[in-house]
Amino acid sequence: MSDMPPHPSDPYGTQPSDHPYQPPQPYQPVPPYGYQPMPMYVQTPPTSGVATASMVLGIIGLFIGWCSFGLPSFIAVITGHTALRETKNGQKGGHGMAVAGLILGYLVGVPAAIFDILYIAAYASSG
């Protein structure tokens, strides 16, 4: 241990001997009163409702798309392409939701369309 007595905030004397206790630095001065810069508020564009609908329908299609012959997924694809057109110029937000709706719509819609065609073909050939 060192020859220095432990600091009151360090009663066990765990301060390294080569780094003696340093008193805290004085507070920095407060800037003088005067005009403070005005905070800038960035206004984000409103979110496209069609983009939200596309994503919601894509999620619904993911869960019940097989029971409904992929109808929510097909609507998600249509609304997703509409939302991409709306969000292209940046006046409306929600581009990511539109892309998510498209991906989910195609992910379930294409296999559902193949299943629908095979189901109708099998039903028509049996009757």
The pLDDT tens digits of the residues spanning 72-99 come to: 999 999 999 999 999 999 889 999 999 9
pLDDT of residue 31: 60
- Among 2, 126, 115, 125, smallest CA distance to 68 is for 115
**Would you say residue 122 lies in a domain?**
yes
What is d(CA 107, CA 112) in angstroms, rounded to the nearest whole number? Answer: 9
- What is the domain range of residue 121? 49-126
Q: Which of 5-14, 20-29, 31-40, 48-57 has the lowest mean pLDDT?
A: 5-14
CA atoms within 13 A on the CB side of 81: 7
Question: Of 127 and 18, which is predicted with more confidence?
Answer: 127
How crowded is residue 114: how many other Cβ atoms within 10 Å of its Cβ? 11
Kindly tell me if the per-residue pLDDT of 56 is higher than 90. Answer: yes
How crowded is residue 56: how many other Cβ atoms within 10 Å of its Cβ? 17
pLDDT of residue 90: 86
pLDDT of residue 18: 57
For residue 47, the 8-state DSSP code is: B
**Would you say residue 109 lies in a domain?**
yes
CA–CA distances in Å: residue 19 to residues 7, 12, 25 = 12, 15, 16
Residue where the block lists tokens 């409306």: 92
**Would you say residue 5 lies in a domain?**
no
**Would you say residue 107 lies in a domain?**
yes
pLDDT of residue 4: 61
Amino acid (1-letter code) at residue 70: G
**Would you say residue 38 lies in a domain?**
no
pLDDT of residue 66: 76
**Mean pLDDT, to the nearest integer, of 92-116?**
94
**Would you say residue 35 lies in a domain?**
no
Question: Of 50 and 38, which is predicted with more confidence?
Answer: 50
**Would you say residue 40 lies in a domain?**
no
- Which residues contact residue 15 at a Cβ distance below 8 angstroms, ignoring those fewer than 6 apart? 2, 4, 6, 7, 21
Kindly tell me if the per-residue pLDDT of 108 is higher than 90. Answer: yes
Question: Of 4 and 120, which is predicted with more confidence?
Answer: 120
Q: How many domains, in total, are found in the chain? A: 1
What is d(CA 99, CA 51) in angstroms, rounded to the nearest whole number? Answer: 8
Looking at the chain, the whole-number percentage of residues with pLDDT higher than 70 is: 72
**Would you say residue 41 lies in a domain?**
no
What is d(CA 40, CA 99) in angstroms, rounded to the nearest whole number? Answer: 30
